[in-house]
Amino acid sequence: MDRLSGTTAGQARDRTWPRSLTQVPYWAFQDEAVYRAEQERLFHGPYWSYLCLEAELAKPGDFCATFIGEQPVLVTRDVDGEVYAFENRCAHRGALIAMADHGHARDFTCVYHAWTYNLQGDLTAVAFAEGIGGKGGMPPEFCMAKHGPRKLRLAVVHGLVFGSLSNEVPDIEEYLGEEILDRIDRVLGGRRPVVLGRFTQMLPNNWKLYVENVKDSYHASILHLFFTTFGINRLSQRGGIIVDSSGGHHVSYSAIDRSAAASTEYSEQRIRSDSEYRLADPSLLEGFSEVGDDITLQILSVFPGFVLQQIQNSVAVRQILPRSVERTKLNWTYLGFESDTEEQRLVRLKQANLVGPAGYVSMEDGGIGGFVQRGIAGASGEYATVQMGGESAASSESRVTEASVRGFWKAYRGAMGYDLADSPPDDTRPGRHRRARVSRAGREDA
């Protein structure tokens, strides 16, 4: 059954978007109607969403229960060795077909009325379909082949399983483009991933605030004290960002640069990220060249909500799932590789402490989105400004830029179908009031 007709959603509700990529309206993080439109236009629309790792479906019968946006999805491996994906929703009354996040099954039987599906999502049995004693049951014309969960379009890229609920999505190679594919290949190509562990983190903010954070190379060595203090990532190191032509995908990377550690740029800024902390166990940061080059950090994102990271020898994928206007589910899956030595596996396990909900590097990201969400309450008519590094959404040799953040909003506003409009001048926007002080009854001093 193929019913992937794509979104039928119209234009997002009576909203216009600033023509300049340097302005982001705060209502985009606050409006329930916007959130509902995103589910239709982005997650049910012509875009690829990360589902799971092929390594999590090692044997026939293995399955993962995952999501595209809010849509529950089952991904399976059948006895023919192929991977399949379909809605995790019984065609009868809509109950979940599978409850566990991961498992192994010969088929799936809905707990509600025992309708059964095979590993490809075909309806194969209906309990009491012929009734009892010639009475009751389904009508004779009922055709099981016409009733089943929607099947997804699938693509596998170096062991990453992507799915789409739209047949209008371009092939994954065209969707990602050569530069992004090359950077995925750099980390995963020619190696068989193994899962070292998983975390799920709930974020107190809109999902797009986390996506912005991932793409924001400017913040990384300022917010994250650990990065700068221990020389893992400084804006003064060699590196750059790649923004694809759509704007929606990006890569930020940096390489070993001994001269950057001796530079004074950070101390001259007098910011908290340049601290005097030291590690009790410096071996935490002792590692090996991940793929034979000197790049020690690579953060890659795929529109709308997938991240592949390499921080030192900590390799992980992140799945960003909206749960409400102000709540986001973030799934972390930590990776090693079958070819790893025992010593390399130990390094990965130790450096897993760098990332995740309580990671030395990334724990601040779990809070900063909530700070923004709380900070913009009451400011739905205002805009964030993202002018660092210019106005474009182009690749750059500098990481002192918000170009990849602007790229995300370029892709987002196009996907949402917003009309573009020039923004009002700053002095006519809400919140620009004349200050007044009342010194005594009946008299006002300007």
pLDDT in tens, 349-380: 999 999 989 998 888 899 999 999 999 999 99
pLDDT digit string, tens, across residues 400-414: 899 999 999 999 999
pLDDT digit string, tens, across residues 162-198: 999 999 999 999 999 999 999 999 999 999 999 999 9
> Is residue 392 in a domain?
yes
pLDDT digit string, tens, across residues 182-191: 999 999 999 9
> Is residue 43 in a domain?
no
Split at pLDDT 50, 70, 90, the class of 416 is very high
Per-residue exposure over 413-444, b if at least 16 CB sit within 10 Å of its own CB, e if not? bebbbbeeeebeeeeeeeeeeeeeeeeeeeee
Split at pLDDT 50, 70, 90, the class of 232 is confident
- Give the CATH number of the domain where residue 124 resides: 2.102.10.10
- As a whole number, mean pLDDT of residues 309-317 equals 96
pLDDT for 178: 97
Question: Which amino acid is residue 219, in one-letter code?
Answer: H
Q: Is 263 exposed, middle or buried (0-12, 13-18, 19+ CB in 10 A)?
A: middle
> Is residue 195 in a domain?
yes
pTM of structure: 0.89
> What residue numbers bound the domain in which 64 lies?
49-154
pLDDT digit string, tens, across residues 123-152: 999 999 999 999 999 999 999 999 999 999
> Is residue 274 in a domain?
no
Split at pLDDT 50, 70, 90, the class of 1 is very low
C-alpha–C-alpha distance, residues 317 and 163, integer Å: 16
> Is residue 278 in a domain?
no
> Is residue 190 in a domain?
yes
Tally of CA atoms within 13 A in the half-sphere of 109 that contains its CB: 7
Q: SS3 letters for the chain?
A: CCCCECCCCCCCCCCEEECCCCEEEHHHHCCHHHHHHHHHHHHCCCCCEEEEEHHHHCCCCEEEEEEECCEEEEEEECCCCCEEEEECCCCCCCCCCCCCCEEECCCEECCCCCCEECCCCCEEECCCCCCECCECCCCCCCCHHHCCCCECEEEEECCEEEEECECCCCCHHHHHHHHHHHHHHHHHCCCCEEEEEEEEEEECCCHHHHHHHHHCHHHHHHHCHHHHHCCCCCCCCCEEEEECCCCCCEEEEEECCHHHHCCCHHHHHCCCCCCCCCCCCHHHHCCCCCCCCCEEEEEEEECCCEEEEEECCEEEEEEEEEEECCEEEEEEEEEEECCCCHHHHHHHHHHHHHCCCCCCCCCCHHHHHHHHHHHCCCCCCCEEECCCCCCCCCCECCCCCCHHHHHHHHHHHHHHCCEEECCCCHHHCCCCCCCCEEEECCEEEC
Contact 160, 188 (CB under 8 A): yes
Domain check: are 86 and 205 in the same one? Answer: no
Domain check: are 107 and 209 in the same one? Answer: no
Lowest mean pLDDT among 235-244, 273-282, 338-347: 273-282
For residue 48, is pLDDT > 90? yes
Domain check: are 342 and 300 in the same one? Answer: yes
For residue 81, is pLDDT > 80? yes
Residue 430 vs residue 19, higher pLDDT: 19
> Is residue 293 in a domain?
yes
Q: Which residue, 122, 154, 186, sits at the end of a domain?
A: 154
Split at pLDDT 50, 70, 90, the class of 442 is low
Across the chain, what does the average pLDDT equal? 90
Domain check: are 139 and 199 in the same one? Answer: no
For residue 33, is pLDDT > 80? yes
Domain check: are 192 and 102 in the same one? Answer: no
Domains in the chain, number: 2
Domain check: are 144 and 186 in the same one? Answer: no
Backbone angles phi, psi at 163, to 5 degrees: -135, 160
pLDDT for 361: 86
Domain check: are 182 and 141 in the same one? Answer: no
Domain check: are 192 and 131 in the same one? Answer: no
Domain check: are 301 and 364 in the same one? Answer: yes
- Give the CATH number of the domain where residue 239 resides: 3.90.380.10
Q: At what angle do helices 365-375 and 207-215 cross, to 10 degrees?
A: 120
For residue 430, is pLDDT > 50? yes
> Is residue 432 in a domain?
no
Domain check: are 214 and 85 in the same one? Answer: no
Domain check: are 241 and 132 in the same one? Answer: no
For residue 265, is pLDDT > 70? no
Domain check: are 146 and 183 in the same one? Answer: no
